Structure 1
């Protein structure tokens, strides 16, 4: 049993739980090294205090699970099978006749699947597996950090590619397509979220949708993108100006950059997470744009592009060495445009390291 599974199994024993049913692709991958997108089919990892775990997955994925290194029992189910009957048998084979406490991912498990457990174990009480899994995933190990740094470098390349593709009259979707094509040539199969390339007034939409807007002189251009590499995500945002920049655009750019740099300065072990958000918000509010910074300062990043912790101002947890997260202040002016600057950040022993390295000084692309 790998160390991650062993730690989780020990927690089940300490908290006197019958078993855990972990269903999310991200947490199954974290605990088993097996990546799978099952769509509507059942994926599940069953973990016990005193028994070997087993994986339940679509039958067509069995070979991939073995290739990933999974050495324990695998239950592969076909589309005509009822996997819950197969699970029930596997549980009985481990001597589990009654289940009193079962750890599940409460935030994401469907009610229908919870009902399947309750049908077979009417006296069951569900507990949360998320808190323990978040705790385990919070601190990245050496192998994880190696992958995250490579993923961040590919995000840098994506922005560089997008900047080079800017031409007067090109559309957002044309630039987006160029970015993703060049990344696929480097072996990237999947982006960590829908790539954003936004021109002009559309950059004033924090989560705008790229389309056929054509690039014009004087536009701000916002790139927000990331890749999935070996199961781990990156996420970067950069904003540039095309051919020229006016005073208002330069003003908000400088404010956002200052907010990000001031927030990075306090990124070190022992800093309260909420103070990161507060620091950036104070800079932007003092400049008169507080109402135009509508989102938190960032989010955890790793297997999921948005994962624990949430970097909002009311988070009293402290930064610890090995955490990875984003810092991404922004100002968005409706019908005018916007600026966001985002980096992936690692907490080091005495401070921080930005994993994304693409330049942040205002660039005017000629």
Structure 2
């Protein structure tokens, strides 16, 4: 049993849980090393304190699961079979015809699967494993950090490719296509999320949708993108100007950059997580743009693009070495435009390390 499974098993013992059912693909990857999207089929890890774990796997994924290095029990089923009957038989063989407490991913487990689990032991109750898995996943080890550095470097390359594709009259989707084509050429299988490229007034929407808006001189261009590399995500935002920039917009850019720099300087072990949000938000408020910064400062990053911790001003948890997250202040003026600057960061024993390195000084692209 690997160290991650051992840590979760210890938590189960301390929680007096009889078993855990893990079926979210990101948690399965973290705990087993097996990366798979089973769609509607059940792919689930059962962890039983005091016994070896087992995985219930669709027959068509069995070979890939074995190649991933999983050496414990595998229970396979065909599409026409009910996997819960096989699960019941396996638990009975292990002396667990009934159980009293099961830990599940309450944020991901469907009602149908929760009922199927309860049917195996009608008097059982379910508890949440989400908080513990979030805590375990939030602290990255050296190998995870090295993988995330590569993912961050590729995100830098994505912004570079996007800027190179800018030309008067091109559409947002033209630039998205160029970025993703270049990422595929570099061996990237998937993006962390839908690549965002926005022009002009559309940059005033923090989560705008790229479309057929054509690039004009004087437009802002906002890139928000990331890649998945060996199961780990990156996430970067850069905003540039095309040919020219208005003076007020330049001042907003410098305000956002100042806020992000101050927040990064406050990233260190032992500091309250909420403090860096307050540092950035105060600078933006004092510049008169407080109402135009409508989101938290950042989010945890790892196997998923958004995970624990949440970087908002009310978070009283403390930074610890190994936490990986984004720092991304922004100012968005509806109908006019917006600016966001985002980097990926990991807390170190001495302070922090910035993983994304693409330059942040204002660029006017001609």
Q: TM-score range by the shorter chain?
A: over 0.9
The CA deviation string for residues 80-121 of structure 1, in whole angstroms up to 9 with x for no partner, is 111111111111111101110100011111111100011121
Counterpart position of 1:314: 314
Counterpart position of 2:346: 346
Report the Cα offset of residue 139 of structure 1: 1.1
Counterpart position of 2:152: 152
Counterpart position of 2:227: 227
Question: Would you say the 8 A contact 2:97–2:120 is kept in 1?
Answer: no
Give the Cα separation in 1 of the matches to 2:76 and 2:219.
Answer: 53
The CA deviation string for residues 8-29 of structure 1, in whole angstroms up to 9 with x for no partner, is 1122122221100011001111
Question: Would you say the 8 A contact 2:239–2:339 is kept in 1?
Answer: yes
Give 5+ residue unaligned stretches, structure 1: none
Counterpart position of 1:326: 326
Counterpart position of 1:126: 126
TM-score, reference length from structure 2? 0.99
Counterpart position of 2:263: 263
Alignment of 1:173-192 (within 5 A): 173-192=173-192
Counterpart position of 1:23: 23
SS at match of 1:295: coil
Counterpart position of 2:86: 86
Report the Cα offset of residue 134 of structure 1: 1.3
Report the Cα offset of residue 74 of structure 1: 1.1
The CA deviation string for residues 299-324 of structure 1, in whole angstroms up to 9 with x for no partner, is 00000100011111111100001110
Asked if 1:244 corresponds to 2:244, the answer is yes
Give the Cα separation in 1 of the matches to 2:294 and 2:352.
Answer: 25
TM-score, reference length from structure 1? 0.99
Deviates more, 1:92-101 or 1:201-210: 92-101
Give the Cα separation in 1 of the matches to 2:171 and 2:15.
Answer: 56
Counterpart position of 2:72: 72
Give the Cα separation in 1 of the matches to 2:93 and 2:230.
Answer: 35
What RMSD, in angstroms, separates the aligned Cα atoms of the two structures? 0.8
Counterpart position of 1:115: 115
Report the Cα offset of residue 76 of structure 1: 1.9
Number of residue pairs matched by the alignment? 366
